[in-house]
Amino acid sequence: MSASAVFILDVKGKPLISRNYKGDVPMTEIDHFMPLLMQREEEGVLAPLLSHGRVHFLWVKHSNLYLVATTLKNANASLVYSFLYKTVEVFCEYFKELEEESIRDNFVIVYELLDELMDFGFPQTTDSKILQEYITQQGNKLETGKSRVPPTVTNAVSWRSEGIKYKKNEVFIDVIESVNLLVNANGSVLLSEIVGTIKLKVFLSGMPELRLGLNDRVLFELTGRSKNKSVELEDVKFHQCVRLSRFDNDRTISFIPPDGDFELMSYRLSTQVKPLIWIESVIEKFSHSRVEIMVKAKGQFKKQSVANGVEISVPVPSDADSPRFKTSVGSAKYVPEKNVVIWSIKSFPGGKEYLMRAHFGLPSVETEEVEGRPPIGVKFEIPYFTVSGIQVRYMKIIEKSGYQALPWVRYITQSGDYQLRTS
């Protein structure tokens, strides 16, 4: 059993939209949600599930909105939360940004969507591409797209329409890895993990079946291959199109893809990552009237690779003024509202080392720094490179008409939450 009703509330707890699917929970029960949430927050015991009497509130917050599902039963909580997050995703597809204003401007279409997303407490059609076939919009107005529901909704493959045709059949595969890293002032790595996604852009005719092969360690063990160049994937999550039973049996990623862009899968690797861009910083204060910051950045990745769009955010004292910069490459900019200097380097080859010096004036009044300095943050993107060593070994495209299709693969490594402490 899933939700009895779904509410969208503003930041003060006032209902903007409500949809009662079963009628077993009085709609006035939602009035208890916000006082309950504030009470739990004050007590320091706030939880994603709150109860008032026999009514349970399962909620998520997005931007300045609360999405709340109510139920009387012992509902499948993971199903309800998946539904709420999927609802957010669908609304974002329709309105670009989900916030109070977009809900107020699109009441009619929001009600239409809530009617299609769930029926009598059970999730129904939650794929935004399919919903857009018969719930269409122009500006803020709902337009009746098709008088009948497309057959896709009742098909076994609900995420792809029949009769799709392209002159040129192609599949573009993006393997994107984000590096989360935290290094302490002594240079020791406190936290490191890789969060990866495989995204596809599909331009294929008909109803093709795709099979994707990766250098997956479990697969290599099953088939007796060498594990040297394999990768052990953790927390793997697939798009609904993937045949999970097939993956469980022989680790084959087999699927009929949606048309256009979608995320096929995500994964995580808890592994010791060598910092790709290493930062050292030295701060010197001169008689409390000025401060000099010297920052050294080194690319610790392969020499044939290049990091693009590098941004190094260096914290500076909040009372600093009169900035002067000298860089061996790129440009530096003072952002006083964030108390940081941002050093931008358009192209940073592996193995290279660059310097940046910043001079600031300080007030003549002597003040001791009570709080520690925030960490240095780094942003970057390295194309044609993955930290984990994951590889797309093959992509087979099978369609009954027998056409030839071209798969294209691109690898990208980028910074996630990448921080280096300096004190």
Looking only at the bridges linking them, the beta strands covering 122-123 and 135-138 are unpaired
Bridge partners, residue 309, by sequence: none
What tens digit of pLDDT does each residue of 147-170 get? 455 555 555 677 888 889 999 999
Q: Determine the Cα–Cα distance for residues 181 and 193; give it in Å rounded to an integer.
A: 7
pLDDT band at 70 (very low <50, low <70, confident <90, very high): very high
Give the model's pLDDT for residue 75.
Answer: 82
Q: Which of 355, 364, 356 is nearest to 286 (CA)?
A: 364
Question: How many other β-carbons are positioned within 10 Å of the β-carbon of residue 349?
Answer: 13
Q: Which of 166, 247, 253, 158 is nearest to 203 (CA)?
A: 166
Domain 5-132 has CATH 3.40.1080.10: no
pLDDT band at 371 (very low <50, low <70, confident <90, very high): low
What tens digit of pLDDT does each residue of 113-143 get? 888 888 887 888 887 777 877 777 654 443 4
Q: Do domains 170-273+387-420 and 277-365+373-383 have the same CATH topology?
A: yes
What tens digit of pLDDT does each residue of 21-64 get? 887 788 888 899 999 999 998 898 889 999 988 899 999 999 88
Mean pLDDT of the chain: 87
Which residue reads 């949809």 in tokens? 19
What tens digit of pLDDT does each residue of 199-250 get? 999 999 999 999 999 988 777 777 766 666 788 888 999 998 999 999 888 8
**3-class DSSP state of 337:** helix
Q: Determine the Cα–Cα distance for residues 328 and 295; give it in Å rounded to an integer.
A: 11
What tens digit of pLDDT does each residue of 76-91 get? 888 899 999 999 999 9
Q: Does 291 have pLDDT greater than 50?
A: yes
For 325, phi and psi rounded to 5 degrees? Answer: -130, 150
- Domain spanning 170-273+387-420: which CATH class is it, in words? mainly beta
Domain range summary for the chain, segments of one domain joined by +: 5-132, 170-273+387-420, 277-365+373-383
Bridge partners, residue 379, by sequence: 311
Give the model's pLDDT for residue 118.
Answer: 86
Tokens for 350, please give them: 């592996």
What tens digit of pLDDT does each residue of 247-290 get? 888 888 999 999 999 999 999 998 888 899 999 998 888 776 88
Q: Determine the Cα–Cα distance for residues 36 and 73; give it in Å rounded to an integer.
A: 19
Q: Determine the Cα–Cα distance for residues 63 and 83; give it in Å rounded to an integer.
A: 17
pLDDT band at 185 (very low <50, low <70, confident <90, very high): confident
CATH architecture assigned to 277-365+373-383: Sandwich (2.60)
Tokens for 222, please give them: 């099953």
DSSP for 220-246 reads: HHHTT---TT-B--EEEEE-TTB-HHH
